[in-house]
Structure 1
Amino acid sequence: MSKHVTIRTVARLAGTSPSTVSAAFNPGSRISPITREKIINAADQLGWRPDRRASALRKNTNSVIGMIYEVSRPFQSSLVDSVYAAAAKHDLEVVLAGGTEHHSELACLRLLLAERCRGLIVTGSSLANRYLEEAGRIIPTLTLARYSSAHNVDSVYSDPVEGERMAVQHLYELGHRHIFHIGGVKRSMAPEREKGYLSAMSDSGLIDLAHVLQCGDDTEAGVRGADLLTTGDHLPTAVTCYNDAVASGVILRLRQYGFRIPQDISVVGYNDLTIAANPAFSLTTIRQDGYLLADKALELLAARLSSDPLAPSKEKTEIAVESHLVVRSSTGPVPEK
């Protein structure tokens, strides 16, 4: 089939006008079902479909932004609906690009730039700053629920230092002093949360008791973390975890070893995903408000799009959103000796 097929080619084959062809591909347009079917059949025969983004660009009304997220990461996936809802308030459409084992975040970035999106939201963690900066030179770019030091990329995230401070303070008030942290290695916001934990331990006069175990960001990482906790010389009375998935793995493994939660060890998660409220875990956790994060992100991105988005004078903007402590039954008073 010729690659020069256009809307006029379809109109000639269907015996209609180009405007009628356009209407046939717009839901709700007032054309007869018979005419619509004839046009769609002609388009199918020619292998043609309308290019929505090209049309929007011609009209200078392109309202499409791209979002990169990691499909296997529950919190990132939970942000998708929040972004959809926030984008609708600004009459923006969202095109998703999901990073997987066989489709990298860099591939997602290249795809969305090729789609000529007007703006970009990145929630993943593997894109290096140089790629984010390259994207930022082309379209307004923003990282959501992660911090980026890229000089031309905005960031909206929950304050990790404050989040870990709340977790450690909660445990401190329950009498705990021997508190460990299971970190997410190089995952999104992992270094910042570790920094928050160490800062909170220092502020509580416990820095000499602070200990970080680098394990990862999934349930298996929590299992490994629990193995390390139980093989050390001194078992802590409490542990804060990189996220809820890690915390659930810690609880599952500790129960296998015969430990009671929280009577023997208290466990705190992070994110407050669905698993945290599951009665099997009932996790005390730090809640990130996905809808608030998305609202702030889309307000900022929409403002960039309404002005000169790539002006040299544009200053990087960082917005740290409050997080909240959610207390459930995975934490309790320090066990009596």
Structure 2
Amino acid sequence: MRADVQRVTVLGAGSWGTAFAKVLGDAGRDVTMWARREAVAEDIRDRHTNSAYLPGVTLPENVTATSDPAEATKNAEAVVLAVPSQSLRANLTSWRDLLPPEAILVSLAKGVELGTLKRMSEVIGEIVGIDGGEVVVVTGPNLAKEIAAGQPSASVLACADHERAVAVQRACANSYFRPYTNTDVVGCELGGACKNVIALSTGMAAGLGLGTNTMATLITRGLAEMARLGAKLGADPLTFAGLAGVGDLVATCSSPLSRNRTFGERLGRGETLEQAQAAAGGQVAEGVMSCSSIRALAQSLGVDMPITDAMHRVCHEGVDPRQAGAELLGRSRKHEWS
């Protein structure tokens, strides 16, 4: 493993993958992106923009792209996996033999895999044949459009191997992007996955015309759910008070740039899942799938996550958001920290 990472591959050219490629480019790294569609790769390579996902953003000259994954990964010292959580396994399986053996693997995906209930670093470790603790996980308040615009932002790089996290930290730190390291991979990944589900709930509340008190209640009680699940799996409680916990939660739950929040808002206004998906350009928000996998994980561990359960029932069992809200308020009374 190199302490000084210069050549970086970003596999995925969506909004967050593109924004992170820009972060790396602005930090002076040589970045090659892989895009599924050649038209997107050509746009990045020839015009230094990704008009399909981040219109109006100019990418640095040292960021290029290809639609050939073998070309993209050649001689890479770090490989950033920037595809949605539920498609990570299939994509990485096809890329596995292309990954340079000494390259640091970096995950941008936030979710828990359906079926296996594995965190993204665990999925990566299983497929590549390494310890999931060797994967560097990027999380925190990562609204792509704001970061791509150069607005000041901080994130967390979580890895059990601190030296790997430091190497990626050096590679992506620049004048507007401040990365912190953390060794609590479990807590950081759970925070990144769970906040998408809670953002669905705050969006639904907004769609129902509810106000700030309701939003604050959902964010705070959502944080309690995340922390309970994390405690059961051995996460550090302090992680949920940091950028990977409350930081990411507040940003995702409150910003109109959050896909999960805006998706939930459409559901709250009475749109169906299919209508909300169509309005989002055919994309399903991560929280729609993660609410089911996180719910299953919580149930397997005996952890109470009522907001997550409500989001699953709204998204996948046809429960009306108003009914789900009434049921949350009607639950048996309890001590705040029980």
The reply to whether TM is greater than 0.5 is no
Which TM-score bucket, shorter chain as reference?
under 0.3
More helix by percentage:
2
* Larger strand percent: 1
TM-score (norm 1): 0.27
Normalised TM-score (structure 2): 0.27
